[in-house]
Amino acid sequence: MLNSSTLAQFTGDMERYRHGLCRNLIYTPGVHYVLENGGEGDNSAHWLLDAIASYQYDKRINENEDAKYLQFWKIVVRKNKVAILTCDDGNGNILITQTIRYADFCLPEIQIWVGDNGDGTRTAYLPSEH
């Protein structure tokens, strides 16, 4: 079951997964758990990381000195299942906002941070894994 206490158990380790299409994006076991268990019913939530991955080459991120190194992604799901995905540079500047017309995500909101690894890759992780 996906909830805040389950997610708090993920505190970081060395295991990593690689995104299928955006090969320079890797992610942690905590994010993997969210992707596998975040959809309602038996659905997965891989679409969430796909959305984040789709912006990794966007100039709004890559031309922002702070966001190049650390991005703060947040998705908020309203009761009508419309979701708002945002990327913040850590200084309160929203760089990206995407409306998702239908999100079968089982939490009202979650944050995923994406940090630069210094080798051309970036890692997506939960705040508890920082």
Q: Specify the pLDDT at position 37.
A: 93
Picking from 66, 68, 67, 71, the residue whose alpha carbon sits closest to that of residue 49 is 71
Q: 124 CB contacts (<8 Å, ≥6 apart)?
A: 25, 26, 27, 28, 31, 49, 52, 73, 112, 113, 114
Q: What is the pTM of this model?
A: 0.94
The number of folded domains in the chain is 1
State which residues form the domain around 54: 4-129
Q: In one letter, which amino acid is 101?
A: R
CATH number for the domain harbouring residue 102: 3.10.450.150
Query: For residue 56, what are the CA distances in angstroms to 13, 42, 82, 87, 91?
Result: 23, 28, 23, 11, 19
Pairing type for strands 25-27 and 94-100 reads unpaired
Check pLDDT > 90 for residue 2: no
What does the pLDDT look like over 13-70, one tens digit per residue? 889 999 988 899 999 999 999 999 998 877 899 999 999 999 999 999 999 999 999 9
Query: For residue 120, what are the CA distances in angstroms to 3, 64, 66, 123?
Result: 32, 16, 16, 10
**What percentage of the chain's residues is helix, strand, coil (to nearest 5)?**
20, 30, 50
